[in-house]
């Protein structure tokens, strides 16, 4: 199969809108997806990610705004003329066709000469390691094998854009990890612009070049996995990607440095991107917190030994429960329930948001 980097296109979405009656499923979304990029739409169910993907595929109308492939507006191009590969959540393998016929289906529709179809199908099957199943019927395949057929069928047509709608959600945990590596390697090798929908944050972090986190039809943040994890733009992203503890605090700032005060008992300084005085939310992940001889006071209420780390639940003096992970390699023993401890952290790692608008203050 030829390398396709030169063929893959940018996907540009400008103010896209999808309405169902009064409900805005997709609310003025704009995205700029680069040629060859692995881009993920991530969010909880009902956030509009699949709706947006289906708008790109042509299965949903675009009720406002534009969707472009490179500089060509495709709003009114029929679904079957968009030259897109798509992998569906339930694989959508044609049950009456065998593996080879399934993969050849799109090539036949494109009137590729018969002499060419055979080798191309063979090579595609080889790439997803199912060339030995070429004559099987779908009902003789496992879920993982069906997924590979779906994948081969989508990229064998050398589409300019590849769409994937929760392709791994029906697989068991182990297979899911294995398949996402396969997909990632394949995408890197073919260089097809790929838009991937998932609600699984770990999967999104592992596989994507960039991620758009969505909520209720809106984009909450767009960025590289590490950026989204380390610098979540708002509490929603902070808690959706991984887990975060939210602690109420008061902020006074001057010269891009904030003094953060928690319950009037513990205070620290951290760099901020803008001046702000008032109520704020401190967001810290369980692994960003550590036990110390000073910091926020609390009592251990639960200690779960999980092998590589210990997961503590710590009750603060205001009764809020904080989750904290301590790596076994960093300590010699597990603390016991009832023990009084202090929680501390590196102020450069945690995030700070305005309480009213949830806007990010920290750098």
Q: Which residues here bind another protein, judged by CB under 8 A?
A: 17, 57-66, 75-76, 78-86, 88-90, 92-96, 105-106, 109-110, 150, 153, 157
Q: How far apart are CA 169 and CA 292, in angstroms?
A: 40
Q: How far apart are CA 232 and CA 238, in angstroms?
A: 5
Closer by beta carbon to another protein, 80 or else 329 = 80
Q: How far apart are CA 327 and CA 311, in angstroms?
A: 9
Closer by beta carbon to another protein, 94 or else 327 = 94
Helix (H, G, I), strand (E, B) or coil at 108: helix
- The per-residue b/e assignment along 253-283, b for 16 or more CB within 10 angstroms, e otherwise, is beeeebebebbeebebebebeeebeeebbbb
For residues 204, 206, 211, 214, the Cα torsion angle rounded to the nearest 10 degrees is: 20
* Closest approach of another protein to the CB of residue 357, in Å: 31
* Closest approach of another protein to the CB of residue 170, in Å: 12
Helix (H, G, I), strand (E, B) or coil at 52: helix
Q: How far apart are CA 267 and CA 282, in angstroms?
A: 12
For residues 240, 245, 251, 254, the Cα torsion angle rounded to the nearest 10 degrees is: -70
Closer by beta carbon to another protein, 26 or else 241 = 26
Inter-axis angle of helices 143-155 and 99-109, nearest 10: 20
* Closest approach of another protein to the CB of residue 115, in Å: 19
Closer by beta carbon to another protein, 20 or else 327 = 20
* Closest approach of another protein to the CB of residue 266, in Å: 53
* Closest approach of another protein to the CB of residue 243, in Å: 33
* Closest approach of another protein to the CB of residue 339, in Å: 46
* Closest approach of another protein to the CB of residue 226, in Å: 33
Query: Would you say how long the chain is, in residues?
Result: 363
Closer by beta carbon to another protein, 18 or else 176 = 18
* Closest approach of another protein to the CB of residue 143, in Å: 14
Closer by beta carbon to another protein, 92 or else 177 = 92
Closer by beta carbon to another protein, 26 or else 183 = 26
- The token pair at 47 is 């956030």
Closer by beta carbon to another protein, 93 or else 262 = 93
DSSP string, 182-201: HHHHHHHHH--EEEEEES-H
């Amino acid at each position: 199969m030829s390398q396709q980097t030169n063929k893959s296109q940018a996907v540009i979405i400008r103010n896209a809108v999808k309405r169902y009656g009064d409900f805005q499923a997709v609310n003025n979304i704009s995205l700029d997806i680069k040629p060859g990029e692995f881009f993920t739409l991530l969010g909880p169910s009902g956030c509009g990610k699949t709706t947006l993907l289906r708008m790109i595929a042509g299965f949903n109308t675009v009720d406002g705004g534009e969707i472009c492939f490179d500089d060509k507006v495709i709003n009114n191009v029929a679904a079957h003329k968009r030259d897109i590969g798509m992998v569906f959540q339930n694989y959508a393998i044609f049950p009456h066709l065998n593996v080879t016929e399934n993969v050849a289906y799109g090539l036949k529709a494109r009137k590729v000469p018969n002499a060419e179809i055979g080798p191309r199908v063979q090579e595609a099957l080889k790439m997803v390691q199912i060339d030995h199943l070429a004559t099987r019927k779908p009902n003789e395949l496992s879920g993982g094998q069906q997924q590979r057929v779906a994948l081969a069928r989508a990229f064998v047509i050398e589409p300019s854009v590849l769409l994937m709608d929760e392709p791994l959600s029906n697989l068991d945990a182990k297979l899911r990890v294995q398949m996402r590596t396969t997909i990632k390697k394949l995408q890197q090798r073919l260089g097809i612009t790929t838009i991937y929908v998932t609600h699984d944050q770990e999967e999104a972090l592992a596989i994507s070049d960039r991620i758009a986190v969505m909520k209720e039809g809106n984009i909450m943040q767009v960025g590289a996995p590490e950026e989204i994890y380390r610098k979540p733009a708002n509490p929603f992203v902070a808690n959706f990607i991984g887990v975060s503890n939210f602690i109420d605090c008061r902020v006074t700032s001057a010269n891009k440095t904030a003094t953060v005060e928690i319950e009037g008992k513990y205070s620290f300084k951290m760099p901020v991107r803008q001046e702000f005085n008032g109520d704020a939310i401190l967001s810290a992940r369980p692994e960003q917190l550590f036990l110390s001889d000073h910091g926020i006071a609390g009592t251990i209420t639960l200690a779960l030994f999980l092998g590589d780390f210990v997961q503590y639940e710590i009750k603060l003096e205001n009764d809020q429960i904080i989750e904290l992970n301590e790596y076994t390699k960093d300590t010699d023993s597990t603390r016991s329930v009832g023990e009084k401890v202090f929680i501390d952290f590196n102020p450069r790692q945690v995030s700070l948001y305005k309480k009213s608008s949830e806007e990010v203050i920290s750098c």
